[in-house]
Structure 1
C-alpha cells in the first residue's frame, strides 16, 4: 500500500472518533437545555479534543498525500 492508502486505513477510526464527538456536542447544544459550568466545561473539552485530532489528521494527510504515488505503468 502507498503512504496515502495507509493513512486512509489508519485514520478511519480516528475520523469516527471526531465525528462522534461532534455529534455529541451538536446534540447537547441543540437540546435546548441550560448548561451549568461543569456541562459547559465538558463540552469545551470535547470540542478541544476533536479540534486537536482534526489538526493532527490534517498534518498527517498533507504528509501522506505529498509523497508521490508509485507508477502504475507497465514496465
Structure 2
C-alpha cells in the first residue's frame, strides 16, 4: 500500500497539494481507485468510519461502507 504522495513519486509530500488541502498527501493511504481517476483513501485525519474520495486533488470525506458500496455497484451497472 502507498500514500497519495508516494503514488505521485513525491514521498515527502506533494508541495501544491499540502499547501491547499486539509489532509496532507503523506497522510492519505490508498485503498483502491476507480479506473485510476478517483482514489479511495483512509487517513487518521478523517472521522472514524469515513474514507476520503479523492478526485483531481479535491478530498470528499464519505462514510466508508456507503462509498465502497457505490464503487462496487458501478462495476455492475456498466
Which TM-score applies when normalising by structure 1? Answer: 0.28
Structure exhibiting the larger radius of gyration computed from Cα positions: 1
Greater share of residues in helix: 1
Q: Which has the higher contact order (CA 8 A, sep 6+)?
A: 1
